[in-house]
Amino acid sequence: MKNLLSLILAGIVGGITVIGVTQIMPKEELVVYNQSPQATLVGHQLGTESVAEPFDFVKASEHATEVVVHIMAEESLASARKRQEESRRSRRSPFDDFFGGDFFGNDFFGQDYFRGHGQKNGSGSGVIFSKDGYIVTNNHVVGFADNILVTLQDGREVKATKIGTDPSTDLAVIKINVETNLPTLDFADSDDVKVGEWVLAVGNPFSYLTSTVTAGIISAKGRDLDIISEDKSIEEFLQTDAVVNPGNSGGALVSKEGKLLGINTAIATPTGVYAGYSFAIPSNLVKRVVFDIIENGDIERVSLGVLGYDVDQSVVEEFGIFSDYGFYVDSMERKSIAQLSGMLPGDVIIEVDNKKVEKFEDIVEQMKYNKAGDTVKIKVKRKKEEKVITVKLRKGL
């Protein structure tokens, strides 16, 4: 009996101890996030408190899904054979094939693949740009294609014509011929967007999950990732954590107000699917390039072809130049635009289109949107004399 009383007493003391410790220790806080950012549930127990965001994405989603289309793209057999023949003729190092991965290839947005005769095929997304049927998408979605089929949000399938591409920005424009008054999105000012703002990503991941909407925030601005394999690539991506996957290429990045903020283009991933961050071409760049493509067709970016040094005191002393700023032209590529325009070794570029040049990056920045056919005025210091050279930008010779 004595032992039994001892056990009962020990149990009572243990229970009191547990109750006391429980009262002292804070309760574990549970944080549960809905799949939609409309509401966030935060409480000591699941669902005991609901804190709603001051907005929802319902209207923005409804409007955005109306203007985002599904694109199927196919290379013709004739084009495939021509490309293969050119590839055989070109002299390539075996290391190019081994190391030369394409960021926009199979592991990324474009869903590119090959059919039996080596024809490229792929799928992606696009955004209706105008009421009369112009659609903006990525160059890596349709650049290779001769046959393009667009599926509208209401299920209609329409053949599209390729209007033009700009590989330097990875943008392209196609057009469908349907009735006018198609739905469109107003443009947001991508320069004004702030890190931390909510955004939507709308597209067709994996080709079969059409009209998919995900949400996230702007994670960073102005990302230059060196992923567009062009000599004059223009990269100033918006980075977001909205979920995107292969097939989302060319889809819309949308502000919470339902305006077009960018064109989804790439993901950073070690696996080929979403791993945390995606990248979109900002709307201000999209608008500029798309209007240019509609007006002029394919865009080919060109460079001056000058080699040299940013002017500093050591350059002034070494070459005996008569300017304390600018870019010293030491040499030029053979048959380059600079050479054909009358520029000479020893010239110092001090202005491009009336904008002061202090270093080579200033030339790049000032000319990054120029294309073949444009005219640029370049002021140089030639010994002690200033001279303006009118440069007609040409395609590569």
Tokens of 88: 């055989």
Give φ, ψ of 302 to 5 degrees: -130, 160
pLDDT range class, residue 137, cuts 50, 70, 90: very high
Determine the pLDDT at residue 41.
29
Report whether pLDDT(258) > 80: yes
Determine the pLDDT at residue 229.
61
Average pLDDT over residues 135-159: 94
Report whether pLDDT(251) > 90: yes
Given 140, 278, 292, 303, which residue is catalytic?
Answer: 140
Stretch among 80-84, 231-235, 346-350 having the lowest mean pLDDT: 231-235
More confidently predicted of 270 and 76: 76
Tokens of 233: 């690539």
Q: How far apart are the first and last CA of the chain?
A: 107
Given 125, 249, 323, 336, which residue is catalytic?
Answer: 249
Q: Give whole-number Cα distances, 119 to 143, 243, 314, in Å.
A: 13, 30, 55
Determine the pLDDT at residue 39.
29
The pairing of strands 147-151 and 157-166 is: antiparallel
Stretch among 206-220, 230-244, 364-378 having the lowest mean pLDDT: 230-244
Report whether pLDDT(21) > 50: no
Q: If you average pLDDT over every residue of the chain, what do you get?
A: 80
Helical (H) or strand (E) element with 287 = helix 283-296
| Rounded distance between C-alpha atoms, residue 332 and residue 328, angstroms | 11
Report whether pLDDT(379) > 80: yes
Give φ, ψ of 10 to 5 degrees: -65, -40
| Architecture field, domain 56-93+103-301 | Beta Barrel (2.40)
Residue 154, Cβ density class (10 Å: 0-12 exposed, 13-18 middle, ≥19 buried): exposed
Average pLDDT over residues 121-146: 94
Determine the pLDDT at residue 78.
81
Is 192 catalytic? The answer is no
Given 170, 292, 347, 362, which residue is catalytic?
Answer: 170
Is 292 catalytic? The answer is no
pLDDT range class, residue 91, cuts 50, 70, 90: low
Type of residue numbered 259: K
Are both 56-93+103-301 and 306-392 of the same fold? Answer: no
Contact 338, 360 (CB under 8 A): no
- Classify domain 306-392 by CATH number: 2.30.42.10
Query: pLDDT tens for residues 275-288?
Result: 788 999 999 999 99
Determine the pLDDT at residue 198.
94
Q: Residue 146: how many CB atoms within 10 A of its CB? A: 16
| Rounded distance between C-alpha atoms, residue 157 and residue 177, angstroms | 11
Determine the pLDDT at residue 119.
80
Locate the domains of the chain by residue range. 2-52, 56-93+103-301, 306-392
pLDDT range class, residue 86, cuts 50, 70, 90: confident
Residue 340, Cβ density class (10 Å: 0-12 exposed, 13-18 middle, ≥19 buried): middle
Give φ, ψ of 121 to 5 degrees: -140, 155
Is 36 catalytic? The answer is no
Residue 387, Cβ density class (10 Å: 0-12 exposed, 13-18 middle, ≥19 buried): middle
| Rounded distance between C-alpha atoms, residue 161 and residue 175, angstroms | 5
Report whether pLDDT(359) > 50: yes
Type of residue numbered 101: G
Report whether pLDDT(32) > 60: no
Query: pLDDT tens for residues 290-322?
Result: 999 999 899 888 888 899 999 999 999 999 999
Tokens of 8: 């009962």
| Rounded distance between C-alpha atoms, residue 324 and residue 14, angstroms | 85
pLDDT range class, residue 11, cuts 50, 70, 90: low
Q: Residue 259: how many CB atoms within 10 A of its CB? A: 18
Tokens of 223: 């990302």
Report whether pLDDT(218) > 90: yes
Query: pLDDT tens for residues 42-69?
Result: 333 334 444 445 567 888 989 999 999 9
pLDDT range class, residue 225, cuts 50, 70, 90: confident
| Rounded distance between C-alpha atoms, residue 279 and residue 224, angstroms | 10
Average pLDDT over residues 141-170: 94
Q: Give whole-number Cα distances, 68 to 10, 216, 268, 288, in Å.
A: 70, 18, 23, 20
pLDDT range class, residue 129, cuts 50, 70, 90: very high
Determine the pLDDT at residue 43.
30
Average pLDDT over residues 244-260: 93
Average pLDDT over residues 372-389: 92
Determine the pLDDT at residue 30.
28
Determine the pLDDT at residue 269.
75
Question: Minimal CA–CA distance to 254: which of 58, 52, 53?
Answer: 58
